[in-house]
């Protein structure tokens, strides 16, 4: 804990924490002001609530109708709200509650789980990699949950005492939903059931990110989370029960994602876009801030085993749809270095085709 404290104070001397600024009603410093067209990642277009977000009952995916809906949702917007997933509202409420208990602890207590300056895992704000970076108005907890041997237990909360156990159990349930979904996704494209799941592998990882977005005095200038696509295979998001904030880009417009208390919001990540040869889309999304209410979200990323080579499945490569991406390993590493260099990671692994 001693050395973590040192690292925390090093970063905080550069920056007053978002939590502190929010509490004191500070005007966000310019490092938090969004720049149009950041990293080539879209701009601040008007939000629109006109476009409905597809809702899919995942317990019905053995029916052709629901399967068609799934294929259509994932190959257009790349996302949907999942109901019928088997987790009750009271269970989801319990998850939200446990997570909130940790975040409600005093800063000194949370900082016992602080991430090291050059590490992603643990509690804290954005990792600062460049002076030009625009910072997110959030604080969060990032933990690798599975496989068990990759857990960095030194940054796992001891308080509330059940935190770890509850998070692991939740991640397991999410994985079983994702596995079923990956099978259905393959079937929806007339592929062998295991076509996608096999690329994730037995040792696919589950990482969780718990985001807290405190009230912000300038929602017009500051985002809770900058526009990005996920580097995962599949992302499963449990939203705040009341406070909205997530927006997804559909047909070049930002669309609000409503909160549905018993739904999980599921989106395609870049790696699934690669594996599906671009058939399924990894959507751009962001989180807006508000002046009144704190918002939380609990995200589970399911990521193919970094040792597995992943690439477009053969059945989705043909004359009209040539191979879009080359095979790669450890996409998260590529994603991270592109982020530092301001490049779009998917662009860097595209296969060039001569149109001659
Ligand atoms: O908080 C949210 O709703 C989205 C968070 C997110 O996109 C992420 O953590 O990757
Ligand atoms: Fe995301």
Ligand 1 pocket mutation, candidates 124, 211, 238, 243, criterion most atoms within 8 A of CB? 211
ipTM summary value: 0.99
Ligand 1 pocket mutation, candidates 103, 137, 209, 248, criterion most atoms within 8 A of CB? 209
pLDDT band at 87 (very low <50, low <70, confident <90, very high): very high
Residue 265 clears pLDDT 90, i.e. is over it: yes
The 10s digit of each residue's pLDDT in 280-314 is 999 999 999 999 999 999 999 999 999 999 999 99
What is the number of structural domains in the chain? 1
Ligand 1 pocket mutation, candidates 124, 228, 237, 258, criterion most atoms within 8 A of CB? 237
120-134, 168-182, 294-308: the lowest-pLDDT one? 120-134
User: Is 126 inside a domain boundary?
Assistant: yes
User: Is 102 inside a domain boundary?
Assistant: yes
Asked whether 234 and 302 are in contact (CB, 8 A), the reply is yes
Query: Domain range holding 176?
Result: 18-43+70-347
Residue 222 clears pLDDT 50, i.e. is over it: yes
Cα(52)–Cα(147) distance, integer angstroms? 36
Residue 178 clears pLDDT 80, i.e. is over it: yes
Q: Which ligand is closest in space to the CA of residue 298?
A: 1
User: Is 52 inside a domain boundary?
Assistant: no
For the chain, the distance separating the N- and C-terminal CA atoms, rounded to the nearest angstrom, is 62
Provide the pLDDT for residue 10.
43
Residue 114 clears pLDDT 60, i.e. is over it: yes
Q: Which residues contact 245 (CB under 8 A, 6 or more apart)?
A: 213, 224, 287, 288, 289, 290, 295
Provide the pLDDT for residue 49.
60
**For the CA of 230, the nearest atom of ligand 1:** 10
User: Is 207 inside a domain boundary?
Assistant: yes
Q: Which ligand is closest in space to the CA of residue 294?
A: 1
pTM equals 0.93
Nearest CA to ligand 1 atom 10: 230
Cα(109)–Cα(123) distance, integer angstroms? 11
Residue list, ligand 1 pocket, CB within 6 Å: 209, 211, 225, 230, 237, 239, 246, 285, 287, 297, 299
Provide the pLDDT for residue 3.
47
User: Is 255 inside a domain boundary?
Assistant: yes
Q: How far is CA 72 from CA 135, 189, 198, 275, in A?
A: 34, 10, 23, 17
3-state SS of 116-136?
A: CCCCCCEEECCCCCCCCCCCC
User: Is 94 inside a domain boundary?
Assistant: yes
**For the CA of 213, the nearest atom of ligand 1:** 1
The 10s digit of each residue's pLDDT in 44-81 is 445 666 789 999 999 999 999 999 999 999 999 999 99
The alpha carbon of 229 and the centre of ligand 2 are apart by a number of angstroms equal to: 6
CATH number at residue 202: 2.60.120.330
User: Is 56 inside a domain boundary?
Assistant: no
User: Is 254 inside a domain boundary?
Assistant: yes
The alpha carbon of 266 and the centre of ligand 2 are apart by a number of angstroms equal to: 10
**Among 199, 201, 142, 188, CA closest to 325:** 199
């Amino acid at each position: 804990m001693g050395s973590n404290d040192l690292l925390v104070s090093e970063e905080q001397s550069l920056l007053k924490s978002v939590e502190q600024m929010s509490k004191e009603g500070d005007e966000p410093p310019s490092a938090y002001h969004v720049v149009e067209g950041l990293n080539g990642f879209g701009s601040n277009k008007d939000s629109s609530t006109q476009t409905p977000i597809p809702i899919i009952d995942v317990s019905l995916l053995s029916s052709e109708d629901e399967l068609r809906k799934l294929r259509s949702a994932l190959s257009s917007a790349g996302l949907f709200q999942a109901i019928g997933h088997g987790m009750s509202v009271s269970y989801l409420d319990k998850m939200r509650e446990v997570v909130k208990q940790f975040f409600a602890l005093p800063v000194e207590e949370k900082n016992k789980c602080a991430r090291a300056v050059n590490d992603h895992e643990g509690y804290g704000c954005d990792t600062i990699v460049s002076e030009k970076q625009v910072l997110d108005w959030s604080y969060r907890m990032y933990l690798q949950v599975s496989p068990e041997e990759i857990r960095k237990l030194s940054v796992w909360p001891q308080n509330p005492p059940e935190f770890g156990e509850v998070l692991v159990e939740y991640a397991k349930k999410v994985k079983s939903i994702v596995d079923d979904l990956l099978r259905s996704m393959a079937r929806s494209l007339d592929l062998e059931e295991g076509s996608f799941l096999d690329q994730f592998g037995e040792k696919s990882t589950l990482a969780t990110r718990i985001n807290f977005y405190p009230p912000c005095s300038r929602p017009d200038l500051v985002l809770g989370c900058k526009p990005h696509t996920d580097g995962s295979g599949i992302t499963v998001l449990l939203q705040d029960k009341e406070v909205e904030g997530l927006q997804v880009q559909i047909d070049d417009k930002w669309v609000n994602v409503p909160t549905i208390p018993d739904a999980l919001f599921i989106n395609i990540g870049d790696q699934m876009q690669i594996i599906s040869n671009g058939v399924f889309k990894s959507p751009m999304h962001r989180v807006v801030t508000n002046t009144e209410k704190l918002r939380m979200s609990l995200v589970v990323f399911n990521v193919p085993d970094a040792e597995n080579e992943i690439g477009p499945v053969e059945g989705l490569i043909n004359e009209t749809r040539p191979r879009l991406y080359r095979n790669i390993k450890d996409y998260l590493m590529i994603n991270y270095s592109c982020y530092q260099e301001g490049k779009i990671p998917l662009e860097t692994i595209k296969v060039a085709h001569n149109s001659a």
